[in-house]
Amino acid sequence: MNQVCLFCERTSPDRNLYCQEIYCPAEMSPIILDYGEWFGDIEIVRALVVMRSAVVYEAMHQNTRVFMKVAHPGPDHKERLKREAEFLQSVALSKKTVPGLPALLPAYANTTVRADPYGKTMLQGHLLYFYLFEYSEGDTLREVLVKNPQLWINHVGWIMEDVATAVNFLHRQGVYHYALTPDCILVHFDEKQNVPSVLLLDLGIVSGKDTLARDWYAFSVPPAYTAPELVSGNGAAPRADYRTDVYGLGLTLYEMLVGEPAYTYKLRSDADVYRAVIKSRPVAMNRVEDVENVARIAVQSVNQYPDNRQAHAAEFADQLHQFFGNAPRAKKSRMPSGRTIVSVIIVLLVIAFLITLAVTFSQLVS
């Protein structure tokens, strides 16, 4: 087990984490499981990403590779994970296939999504809440950008259009995200077509207009990815709507274009980052000459004032679609699938056996 700081990202294998930065409460950091450790009947393969509210693991459950999301200790984190699991439960029970959203699995063996959308397990004196969802190949967008800070512009457009489409589905169901970051987006590139597909590893605050005041808590969102209207100095409930998620989409697009986060956050206190966000001082947009139209979309969506942004995620996606169109999809192979080949071989073997049996029987009779 490791202890990982949610502020400075320092890690300690002996669970004795200490940080000299006064703003960093390292000693309160959650415990993260390592390869081969167990969480109930679930074996950990690796920690895919550690977020402020939860950690997503690649794991094995009942001989099946899955993703497992575990909320950090604390009532706000627990309730957020429960809302997320229950939302995914409603999607699963509706029989809808929604590209970009996790496909929920039963939390325990021999149960159903309807009965148990999330589970609970004791670990190190904490009752931790978790849910399981289908595994998918890929890396977080953060990892992708570490390897290649400025992707091919078509990949940028296709990734962000898919993310915006997934966020728009949330909006159509009456819920906001408000916590979009490159850490919560899983990206997989098709080997043949080199076309990206995305999966949201985190659905954010998962709350609507009527419940936002109850459900919102600022710590769950890294300050560098928090919209200005969510930053309140008097403890009042935030005044936000769909355009707040447009800001989150824009920040991610902005980062993919310039090759670094719009607001520097490494080794800075939350208060320092919030001040930069409120004053709207992102790093300079340096892609105006080569991809001006796309840069304009990014700049508009991260405007300090919601009225100056795109009205909703669908408009953001439509603007990108005008320049990038539909991503090419993997062509169906003319070769039969492996399952088909095996089935044909079995049928041929059965036919050969029956023919041999018939010939042998005929010879015995004669």
Q: What is the pLDDT of residue 366?
A: 61
Per residue in 76-121, pLDDT (tens digit) is 999 999 999 999 999 999 988 899 999 999 999 999 999 999 999 9
In a domain, 25, yes or no: no
Per residue in 17-51, pLDDT (tens digit) is 555 555 555 445 788 999 999 999 999 999 999 99
How far apart, in Å, do the first and last CA atoms of the chain sit? 75
In a domain, 20, yes or no: no
Per DSSP, what are the bridge partners of residue 192? none
226 shares its domain with 151: yes
In a domain, 268, yes or no: yes
**Phi, psi (degrees; rounded to nearest 5) at 242:** -60, -30
Answer yes or no: are the C-beta atoms of 102 and 130 closer than 8 Å: no
**pLDDT top residue among 272 and 347:** 272
**Final residue in a domain of this structure, among 134, 164, 199:** 134
With tokens 């940028």, the residue in question is 156
In a domain, 19, yes or no: no
Q: Which structure tokens are listed for 274? A: 């919030």
What CA–CA distance (Å, rounded) separates 255 from 181? Answer: 10
180 shares its domain with 288: yes
110 shares its domain with 174: no
Q: Which domain holds residue 109?
A: 33-134
What CA–CA distance (Å, rounded) separates 220 from 76? Answer: 9
128 shares its domain with 143: no
Burial 340-352 (b: 16+ CB within 10 A, else e): eeeeeeeeeeeee
Q: Please give the tally of structural domains in the chain.
A: 2
- Which ranges of 219-268 would DSSP assign to H, the alpha helix? 242-258
Largest CA distance in the chain: 101
113 shares its domain with 205: no
Residue 264: closest CA among 253, 252, 277: 277
Whether the pLDDT of residue 293 is over 50: the answer is yes
188 shares its domain with 227: yes
Average pLDDT over residues 116-133: 94
Whether the pLDDT of residue 362 is over 80: the answer is no
127 shares its domain with 148: no
Q: What is the pLDDT of residue 3?
A: 64
217 shares its domain with 293: yes
60 shares its domain with 152: no
Q: What is the pLDDT of residue 313?
A: 97
Q: What is the pLDDT of residue 96?
A: 84
In a domain, 6, yes or no: no
221 shares its domain with 111: no
CATH of the domain at 294: 1.10.510.10
Looking at every residue in the chain, the average pLDDT score rounds to: 87
Whether the pLDDT of residue 295 is over 90: the answer is yes
220 shares its domain with 242: yes
**Phi, psi (degrees; rounded to nearest 5) at 202:** -145, 135
Q: What's the predicted TM-score (pTM) here?
A: 0.82
253 shares its domain with 107: no
CATH of the domain at 117: 3.30.200.20
